[in-house]
Structure formats: C-alpha cells, structure tokens
Structure 1
Amino acid sequence: MLAIWQSEMERIWNRKSTLLLYIAYILLVVAIIWSHKVTGTKVLRFGEGTVVVNNLNLPWLMMSEVALFLITAILPILYVDQLSGDLYSGAYRLYMLRPYRRFQFWLAKLLALSASTTIFMGTSLLIGVFAGWLFFPHSSTFFKYGSSIASSPSDAVPYILSFYLVLTLVCLVKLMLSSAVCLFMSRPLFAYIVILILSVFLFDLFRPLIMLMDPFQQIMLALRVEGSFNFWMCAGGLILVSIMISFTRWQKKII
C-alpha cells in the first residue's frame, strides 16, 4: 500500500499542471500578503469591520481571500486533473495490472491527494507566519475572530493551527465530493463544472455547506463554541456519504 501511495505522490508532483497550480497558489498568497502590507488593515468581507494587520493575525486574516480561490478553483482543478484525468485518458488501465486489490488504487490516490492538500496548507501557513514576523508590526495582544476581548499572544499559536487544521478538513470534504463526482463524470472540464454546480446546490440546502464555496467565515465561526455543531455535522456527514459513494462506484466501475 505504501508503494502505491509513493507512486501516486510522484505521479501527482511530476505533472507540470500540479507544479503550475502550486506556483500560482504561492503567487496568490504573496500578492494578498503584499496588499495587506500596503494598506496595513483588513476589511472583513462579512461586515465585521476593519482589523489592523499584525504578525499574530496575518496567517489567518490573509486566508479570507486565499481560501475562496483555493476551495473553488485551485484544489478542485488539481483533484479533477488527477481523478477524472486518469480515468478519461485510460491511464488507470495500466496501473490496475499491478498485483494490488482494486480498492487500494483508489485509496492510494485519495491519500496522495490528501497529502498534496496538506502541502498546499503548510505552504500558506509557513509563508503567513514568516511574512507576519518579518514585515508586519508585532502586537502584544491577540483578538480572535468576532471578539472584542484581548487574548495573550500565546493564544495565537493554537488558534492559527486550529484554523488551518479545520481548513484542511474542509478541503478534504471537497476532495471526497470530487472523488464521487469524477467517477460518474470522467471528462475533467465537465467534472469541474458539475462539482461547482453541486457545491452551490448543497449550499442552498444547508447553510454551513457554503464552506464548499467560501469557507472562511464558517471556519472562524466553527472555532467558537456557539453555532459549531451544524458545521461539524455537515462536514462529517458529507465526507461519510461521499466516501461511500466513491468507493462503491469505484468497485463497480469498468476501467
């Protein structure tokens, strides 16, 4: 199983499309950080007011826009390219000749894409932390999202890590949804369009599933005690349903 996973990781990162997406993502993160450096403040998109950007809040404030592009474009393009792309091109017919169980191939692909998602998350976290430390004012107080009560700087570290962990979870929800769709829609462009439409449809059904389109506010609210149950229920439920559909379809799909 480890050998298949390593093979999938190599295949993902040996593709020019993956490297181009990764470079585009880094440039996006840098551009948004630079805009915060120029203005010195951040106007929150959901009417919460204006926040002064400092070394403690930059790593999560910058993700307001970054997460939007990440969850709607960058990662779905990566997922569709690797899932639908391999099915549509017939590449998996060659990989299936190896002496492994059928479900192991699909599991290895999903685990490799999960690891790649973590690489994207880790990159933005490192850039945000170092940029905040080097280029932004250092603050002695830390304010959590939507709170007027000052916290100590030591609270910033677990808060930032929690944000990125939850954002990674949301990206994995998108991955599992994509894995189910791609097995029914093998053309990459069509699969991407269906994933986009389905994300909008699910958001109309359950408000917390706006995380599939614009996750920032829902994540910040989920980090607070109140109002987080629906978020976790929707995220966990959608992952479970998508996994069931994905693996059931994979076992029955003719390659």
Structure 2
Amino acid sequence: MIGLWMSERERIWKKKRVLILCSAYLLILAIYIAKLIYSGVGLYDYGEGKAALHNLNLSWFVLQDMSFIIQAIILPIFAVSTLCDEIHSGCYRLYMLRPFRRYQHWSIKLIALLEVVLVFIIGTYVISMISGWIFLPHSQSAILYHTTEPIGFWEANLYTIKLYLMHVLTCLLMIMMSSVICFFVPVSVVAFMIIFCFPFLMSVINSEFIIMNNPFSIVLDVLSPTGHSIFWVYILGSLMVTSFISFVRWKTKSI
C-alpha cells in the first residue's frame, strides 16, 4: 500500500500544471494577505461585522476567501486530473494490473487528493501566521465571531487550528462529491463544470450545502458559543452518501 501511495503522489506532483497552479495560488495568497495588512481590517462575509487585524486573527480572514479558491477551483482541478482523466482515458487499466484490490486503489487515490488539500491548507495557515507576526501588531487576546468577550493567546491559536481543521472536513466532502461526478462523467471539462456548479445548485435548494464550496460563515457559527448543530447532520450525512456511491461505482465500473 505504501508503494501504491508513493506512486500516486508522484503522478500528481510531477505534472507541470501542478507547479503552475501552486505558483498561481501563492501569488493570489500573497496579494490577498498584502491587501488585508494594508487595510488593517478584516470583514466578515455578508456584512456581519469587522475586526481590527493583528497577529492572532489574520489567518481567520485569509481563510475566509482562500477556502473558496481551494474548494471550488484547486480541488476540482486535481480531482478531474487524478480521477476523470486517468480513468476514462484508458491509461488506468495498466495501473489496475498491479496486485492490489480495487478498494485499495480507490482509497489511495482519495487519500492522495486529501494530501493535496492539506498541502494548500497548511501552507495557507503557515504563511498567514508568519505574515501576521511580521507585519501586524502583536496581541495577547482576540474576539471571536458573534462574541464580545476576548479570549487569551493560546485559546485564540487553538481556535485557529479548529477553524482550519473544519475546513479540511468540508474539503473531504468535496473530494467525495468530486469522485462521484468523475466516475460518472467521462469528459474532463464537463466534469469540472459540474463539480464547480453543483454546490451552488445544492445551496439554492438548501443553504446548509454552502459548506461544499464556501463554508467559512457556517464554520464560524459552528465554532461560536451558540453552535450550529445541524452542520454535523448535513456534512456527516453527505459524507456517508457520497462515499457509498463512490465506492460502489468504483467497484462496479469497467476499467
């Protein structure tokens, strides 16, 4: 399994388009951080307030917009390249001749996609934290979303970690949804457009499904003192449904 995982990693990261995509993301991230630092103020989505920026909360507002780029653009591009292009082109047939069960191939491909997401999220976290410490005032406390009482230095850092981990969870849902679409749609461009548009359609049907491409405001509610318990019903339920469909489709698909 380790050899299978290493092989999948090499196939993802050694493509030239990955270097271009990573460079473009870093440029966008740098521009956005510079914009926030210059303004000195972070604005919450939907006009729900603002906060003076400092070293503890810069990473919150960086994630607010970068989360959409990761889930709606970066993740679908990698998903289509890793799943749709390889499976429907026929080149994956040779890969399937290796002595591993189908579910192992399926799980390794999804783990490799999750690794890609983790690289972008962890990179965003580290760069935003370093930028906050270098370019913004240092604070020993921070005020959370929908609260008035400040929390201490370590509590604020723990909150930031929770915020980014919640984003990883919502990205996992997008990975599973993308796998379902890629297994059914043979054309890469069409698959990408469906992956991009489907969350918007679902959020029109029910606003809770905004967690698929722009989860920041809902995650803030989940981590606030009042909580947002229905979030767990939607995300865990959606994960189970998409995982089941993806696994069954992978087991039964002709490669």
Tell me the TM-score normalized by structure 1. Answer: 0.96
Q: CA deviation at 1:203?
A: 1.4
Contact 1:170–1:212 under 8 Å retained in 2: yes
CA distance in 2 between partners of 1:14 and 1:135 (Å): 34
Residue aligning to 2:195:
195
* RMSD (Å), alpha carbons: 1.3
CA distance in 1 between partners of 2:24 and 2:172 (Å): 20
Q: CA deviation at 1:88?
A: 2.7
1:49 aligns with 2:21: no
5+ long unaligned stretches in structure 1: none
Residue aligning to 1:136:
136
Q: What secondary structure does 2:140 align onto?
A: coil
5+ long unaligned stretches in structure 2: none
The C-alpha deviation readout for 1:59-112, integer Å capped at 9, x for no partner, is: 111111111222111111111111111123222111011111122111110011
Q: Identity over aligned residues, as a percent?
A: 34
Q: CA deviation at 1:41?
A: 1.1
Pairwise mapping of residues 1-255 of structure 1 onto structure 2 (< 5 A)?
1-255=1-255
CA distance in 1 between partners of 2:238 and 2:20 (Å): 29
Q: CA deviation at 1:44?
A: 2.0
Number of aligned residues: 255
Q: CA deviation at 1:50?
A: 2.2
CA distance in 2 between partners of 1:137 and 1:227 (Å): 30
Contact 1:21–1:78 under 8 Å retained in 2: no
Runs of 4+ in 1 over 3 A off after TM superposition: none
Q: CA deviation at 1:23?
A: 1.8
CA distance in 1 between partners of 2:127 and 2:135 (Å): 11
Tell me the TM-score normalized by structure 2. Answer: 0.96
Q: CA deviation at 1:194?
A: 1.4
CA distance in 1 between partners of 2:87 and 2:187 (Å): 8
Letter in 1 for 2:38: V
Contact 2:178–2:195 under 8 Å retained in 1: yes
